[in-house]
């Protein structure tokens, strides 16, 4: 079982590296957005001050392993006008060891078995 898990992890890393290399070769500057539905927006108080998080339920075709993911929101103004249950298109990246939301926009609902734009 362990050998199979290692193989899958290695295969995923190779695939990610290949996709990154292809994007770099093509000079890709186009932003890639993922579709999701806002599940909740939470504020967390801690020793480093108050932090804002958003939980997003991703579409199954997003090719991301978990259906619902939590993203840290550095700029609270990104969520202005976005309520729980809203359909969104978003961008995120890994910053300071956390998934961090970098852009988010309201989008039309994706109907099941219909293409999304």
- Say if residue 83's pLDDT is above 50: yes
pLDDT at 69 over 50: yes
C-alpha dist (Å) from residue 71 to 13, 28, 29, 63: 22, 24, 23, 17
Q: What is d(CA 53, CA 29) in angstroms, rounded to the nearest whole number?
A: 27
Task: Kindly state the average pLDDT of the residues 73-98.
Answer: 93
Length of the chain: 117
Tell me, what's the pLDDT at 116? 75
For residue 30, the model assigns a pLDDT of 64
Give the per-residue pLDDT at 59: 81
Q: Is the pLDDT of residue 31 over 80?
A: no
Sequence-distant (6+) residues with CB within 8 A of 53 are 41, 42, 43, 44, 70, 71, 72, 73
């Amino acid at each position: 079982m362990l050998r199979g898990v290692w193989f899958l992890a290695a295969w995923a890393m190779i695939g990610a590296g290949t996709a990154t290399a292809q994007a770099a070769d093509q000079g890709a500057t186009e932003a890639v957005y993922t579709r999701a539905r806002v599940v909740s927006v939470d504020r967390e108080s801690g020793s480093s001050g108050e932090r804002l998080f958003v939980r997003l339920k991703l579409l199954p075709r997003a090719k991301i392993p978990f259906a619902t993911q939590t993203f840290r929101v550095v700029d609270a103004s990104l969520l202005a006008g976005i309520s729980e249950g809203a359909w969104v298109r978003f961008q995120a990246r890994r910053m300071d060891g956390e998934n961090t939301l970098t852009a988010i926009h309201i989008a039309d609902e994706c109907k099941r078995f219909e293409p999304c734009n």
